[in-house]
Amino acid sequence: AQSVSQHNHHVILSEAASLELGCNYSYGGTVNLFWYVQYPGQHLQLLLKYFSGDPLVKGIKGFEAEFIKSKFSFNLRKPSVQWSDTAEYFCAVNAANNAGNMLTFGGGTRLMVKP
C-alpha cells in the first residue's frame, strides 16, 4: 500500500524566513502529487499539484514544489513566509494503481509564522 511521510510535524519560522517542507511517498509507479493547506478552522484548499511535465510546479500564494522522482519526494517551498501562512500543510499522493482514486495523505506539518 502506498504511504506518504512528512518529516516535519511542527515548524516555527519568523516572517521573511524561507520554508521547505519535506514529503516522501512509497509508490514506485506513476503518481499524482498534491499539497493542500488547511488554515485554522477552515477546509482543505489546494496549493499546487503535479501530474506530469516540468517537475517544478508553482502554486498559489508564492508556493512551489519540486518533484524528484529518484528520491520519491515532492517538497514544498516558499522563499519568504508571511504570518498569514500559519496553517497545517498536507502532502497527498494518488498512485495510478490505486483502486477508487483515493488520496493518501501525509501526517501534516503545522507551520507557525511569528510576526
CB of residue 99 to other proteins, shortest distance in Å: 6
User: How many CA atoms are closer than 13 Å to the CA of 55, on its beta-carbon side?
Assistant: 11
Cβ pair 71, 22 in contact under 8 A:
no
CB of 102 to other proteins, least distance (A): 4
Biggest CA–CA distance in the chain, Å, is 44
User: Which is closer to other proteins, CB of 82 or CB of 97?
Assistant: 97
**Contact footprint for other proteins (CB under 8 A):** 32, 34, 36, 42-46, 49, 51-52, 88, 90, 92, 94-105, 107-108, 110
